[in-house]
Amino acid sequence: ISSSRDTEAITSQKLVKGHAYSITAAQQVHHLGSLVELVRIRNPWGQVEWTGAWSDDSPEWTGVQPEERRRLDRSADDGEFWMSYRDFLRHFSRLDICNLTPDTLTSDHVGRWNHAEFEGVWRVGSTAGGCRNYPATFSSNPQFLIRLQDVDDDPHDGEDGCTVLIGLMQKDARRERRFGRELNTIGFSVYEVPDQYKGRSNVHLGPDVLLRSAPAARSRTFINLREVCDRVKLPPGDFVIVPSTYEPHRRGSFVLRVFTEKRAHSSPMEEDVDADIQQVSHLLDTRAASKDELRTKRLE
């Protein structure tokens, strides 16, 4: 589309502008002695189909053997149509691929990945600290620990280390839009845990650590998408993932997913909380006594 006015306009060959189609199959067919690459495309409306070359009633099908044509016809439902790969490249401008596992698309095998998932909240005045550009509040963001112990068995990039895939996803995006609130601009940073904190799982790293050391890894950008996902390579050790919005004081809830090739320990990191139980009990007793005294005075 060239402007918002073109959205869902229908072309002369019955393609809907600004529309998200799905690719449901790819085949090669013999057409008059040569191979032609075809893709099967689905319009989620279930109607309004392509009328160009290789559409349902196009003359190109007369050059295909009847049994091959029947095989392709049986696999296409209403709203689906065939198009040559060449025409597909000409008419479509963007392709999104959803990879169902954390393996790279160039990998020859599917690995067994370890997975940890956490839910968190950015609360205004509490845990909505913004990115590192805001040093006064950055360390107040939620923090999550990953402990990497074993390097990859067969590094695909030739570099030893531990492959980690980190996905930060915003929750309740549709509900927020209904209230007129747009998606937050989000990203994450990964910091190595200093020696004095290693082996512990209940420490919240403060500005003395986060602002004096460079991150070991981070998301490539802060962006207002539903999910930010990046693959990083880290040495064995303890690391903290700090998910954040770009600006501080932006409320929101999120899911943090961590995939590792080798087994790893993961947990949220929290601050140590000390409480003097005797002091609290004494305070409660004092309040109770005050209420009794007040009640007595009222009766008098």
- Give per-10-residue mean pLDDT for the chain (300 aa): 79 86 92 91 84 89 88 68 94 85 72 88 95 96 92 72 93 70 92 85 86 94 92 93 96 94 75 38 42 45
pLDDT at residue 82, as a whole number = 93
Strands 80-84, 114-122: pairing is unpaired
In a domain, 295, yes or no: no
Dihedral pair phi/psi, residue 271, rounded to 5°: -75, 150
Identify whether the C-beta of residue 113 lies closer than 8 Å to the C-beta of residue 229: no
Rounded distance, CA 184 to CA 141, Å? 15
* Pair 34, 75 in one domain: yes
Give Cβ neighbours of residue 141 (< 8 Å, ≥ 6 apart). Answer: 122, 127, 128, 129, 130, 242, 243, 244
293 falls within a domain: no
The span from the CA of 46 to the CA of 28, in Å, is: 24
Considering the domain boundaries, does residue 280 fall inside one? no
As for how many domains the chain has, the answer is 2
Using DSSP's 3-state secondary structure scheme, residue 291 falls into: helix
Within a domain: 289:
no
Annotated catalytic residues are 19, 43
Residue given tokens 């559409």 in the structure block: 55
User: What is the pTM (predicted TM-score) of this model?
Assistant: 0.64
User: Helix (H, G, I), strand (E, B), or coil: what is residue 282?
Assistant: helix
Domain with 39, as residue range(s), is: 4-91
Residues 66 and 189 in one domain: no
DSSP-assigned letters across all residues of 191-213: EEPPGGGTT-SS----HHHHTTS
The whole-number pLDDT of residue 164 equals: 93
CATH for 249: 2.60.120.380
Any domain includes 286? no
Do 186 and 234 share a structural domain? yes
Under DSSP, is residue 265 helix (H, G, I), strand (E, B) or coil? strand
Q: What tokens appear for 141 in the block?
A: 């963001």
Query: 61 and 118, same structural domain?
Result: no
Question: What's residue 134's pLDDT?
Answer: 96
